[in-house]
Amino acid sequence: MQLMDRYSRQIAVIGREGQEKLSKARVAVIGLGGLGSLVTLYLVGAGVGELTIVDYDTVSISDLHRQLLYREEDVGKPKVEVAARRLHDLNSTVRIRSVGEALTEDNVDDIIRDADVVVDALDNWLSRQVLNESIVRLRKPLVHGAVNGWYGQVSTIIPGKTPCLYELVQLKSLPQCVGFCPVVGPVVGVVASIEALEVIKLITGIGEPLTSRLLVIDGKNWIIDEIRLSRVENCPVCSKYLKSKEK
């Protein structure tokens, strides 16, 4: 299958150079729940070079209304195994690297070290805290997304240039989810699509990413707000890992 045949509609927008950048890019998606399962579909469809997928959970029946990568027959199976197979079937030219482990301080750096862009598709602050410290420490761009009920949010973090996740959580806006997570499926789809688009923009260098901005989506009333973000002086994460001129 020729490059122009597969990606012709996309190349018409981002150009052949943009497509070549995608084909060489390495992206790590942390979490294969509602957001991650959909983000991976778009990135594999777009033709990224390598995709690292990270999740230690299994598919549950309650996942299926929003995690469209999985089917009824997958219930009880490890998400990384099912996802790797389905994503390969969608685009066999993309290299899939599967990590079926929980994200920890011991493994996070090794997982994202080679990534050009990292995607936060997590659902709890403890894991995000581990990821945040790593992306600041390794200077990795992070596309953050979160959902809760009818609401969602997206922001892009560039360590040393924008607020990090620690600074973002000071807004008290970060949706938290422990155990039971209420959410409307299409809201997840909207946020995941924006996250995937942010990744494509970062890789190709086209357009303006959501840096130092938090896009907040109210799907119930269809209100979209943009909050301008400022860096927090003496942020404990940035102060720990960034040089003085980067703070």
Task: Give the model's pLDDT for residue 175.
Answer: 58
Q: Is the pLDDT of residue 178 over 60?
A: no
112 or 177: which leads in pLDDT: 112
pLDDT exceeds cutoff 90 at 243 = no
pLDDT of residue 24 exceeding 80, the answer is: yes
Q: Tell me, what's the pLDDT at 245?
A: 47
* Percentage of the residues of the chain whose pLDDT score is greater than 70: 94
What are 202-224's pLDDT values in tens digits?
999 999 999 999 999 999 999 99
Query: Judging by beta carbons within 10 Å of its beta carbon (0-12, 13-18, 19+), is residue 75 exposed, middle or buried?
Result: middle
CA dist 245 and 121 (Å) reads 30
CATH code, residues 3-246: 3.40.50.720
To which H or E segment does residue 166 belong? Answer: helix 165-169
Higher pLDDT: 1 or 206? It is 206
pLDDT, tens digit (0-9, with 9 covering 90-100), for 107-164 = 999 999 999 999 999 988 899 999 999 999 999 999 999 999 999 999 999 999 999 9
Which two structure tokens, joined as six digits, stand for 207?
């357009």
Enter the DSSP assignment of 28.
Answer: E
**Averaged pLDDT of the chain:** 93
Q: Where are the domains of the chain?
A: 3-246
Please compute the mean of the pLDDT values over residues 81-107 and round it to a whole number.
98
Whole-angstrom Cα distance, residue 146 to residue 155? 9
CA–CA distance, 222 with 208 (Å, rounded to integer)? 23
Mean pLDDT calculated for residue range 33-45? 98
